[in-house]
Amino acid sequence: MSTEKTYAVFGLGRYGIAVARELVAHGSEVIAVDINEVIVNDMSSDIPICKCADVTDPEAVKQLGIANVDVVVISMASNLEASVMAIMLCKELGVKKIIAKCANEIHRKILSRVGADIVVLPETDSGIRLAKNLLSSGFVDIIELSKNVSMVELDVKSDWVNRSIVELDLRKKYDLNIIAIREDKEVCTSIKPDMVLKEGMKLLVVVNTSRLSKL
């Protein structure tokens, strides 16, 4: 049985296309959906499963097989009503995680209240960045500093708990540098080799992008 997550992207504007393309490029199964048939036809060569459908129609959403999708990204910030309807339909179908793009802070609050697990503002969250975060299980956040270097916030892994930084030798194993450790609301930037990692800590590290999959 496959452990790979499956995704759906509702709305193929620039943001939705960026998310879908990045997920597909990494081998993920993606259902891309837009109400505009011209857009769907244009994107079908880049995204294998590209459907023309009204995601505010309960029957249409059901027929897309959304009940079997792990994560739905709703990228229709300009249409608040459609976003709300799509979120509610996905919730009813039992989707595990719903991520919605919003136009402003007021819309963010509304989309969160109707069931979106994560709400992003396009000015601060790029589609490619969101896709990389989705693909990188265990990472809290990823910021690309350059083509080859990323800054990553990640949870302390279970087999790192109660072991010191020098004992784990993370720099040698993963080619990373720890620049800060966050525990609850406290942030420590003075990292000592004998510091012991605890459950619940988050590490802010700089790492070669090519080593992310190993990490």
Question: Quick one: 168 and 192 in the same domain?
Answer: yes
Strand 29-34 versus strand 176-183 pairing type: unpaired
In this predicted model, what pLDDT tens digit does every residue of 35-90 receive, in sequence order? Answer: 999 999 999 999 999 999 999 999 999 999 999 999 999 999 889 999 999 999 99
Domain membership flag for residue 1 = no
In this predicted model, what pLDDT tens digit does every residue of 95-140 receive, in sequence order? Answer: 989 999 998 888 988 998 988 998 887 654 566 566 666 555 444 4
In this predicted model, what pLDDT tens digit does every residue of 14-40 receive, in sequence order? Answer: 889 989 998 998 889 999 999 999 999
Q: What is the pTM of this model?
A: 0.62
Domain count for the chain, please give it. Answer: 2
Tokens representing residue 43 in the block: 């994107």
What's the length of the chain?
215
Question: Quick one: 69 and 150 in the same domain?
Answer: no
The span from the CA of 126 to the CA of 41, in Å, is 24
In this predicted model, what pLDDT tens digit does every residue of 131-190 receive, in sequence order? Answer: 666 555 444 455 555 667 777 778 888 889 999 999 998 888 888 888 888 887 777 888
Q: What is the CA radius of gyration of the chain?
A: 19
Cα 1–Cα 100–Cα 22 angle in degrees, nearest 5: 55
Query: What was the pLDDT predicted at 1?
Result: 35
Question: Quick one: 26 and 110 in the same domain?
Answer: yes
The residues with which 155 forms a beta bridge, in sequence order, are 202
H or E element: which one contains 71? Answer: strand 71-74
Query: What was the pLDDT predicted at 131?
Result: 63
Cα 80–Cα 83–Cα 88 angle in degrees, nearest 5: 125
3-state secondary structure of 100: strand
Q: Domain ends where: 104, 135, 166?
A: 135
pLDDT, greater one: 12 or 191: 12
Query: What was the pLDDT predicted at 2?
Result: 43
Question: Quick one: 124 and 195 in the same domain?
Answer: no
The domain of 161 spans 139-211
Question: Quick one: 81 and 173 in the same domain?
Answer: no
Q: Domain ends where: 102, 135, 168?
A: 135
Question: Quick one: 15 and 103 in the same domain?
Answer: yes
97: domain CATH number?
3.40.50.720
Q: Which residues have CB under 8 Å from 9's CB, separation 6+?
A: 16, 19, 20, 23, 30, 31, 32, 33, 72, 73, 75
Q: Domain ends where: 135, 165, 199?
A: 135
The span from the CA of 82 to the CA of 34, in Å, is 12
Query: What was the pLDDT predicted at 82?
Result: 94
159: domain CATH number?
3.30.70.1450
Tokens representing residue 36 in the block: 């505009």
Tokens representing residue 171 in the block: 């720099």
Report which DSSP code applies to 64.
T
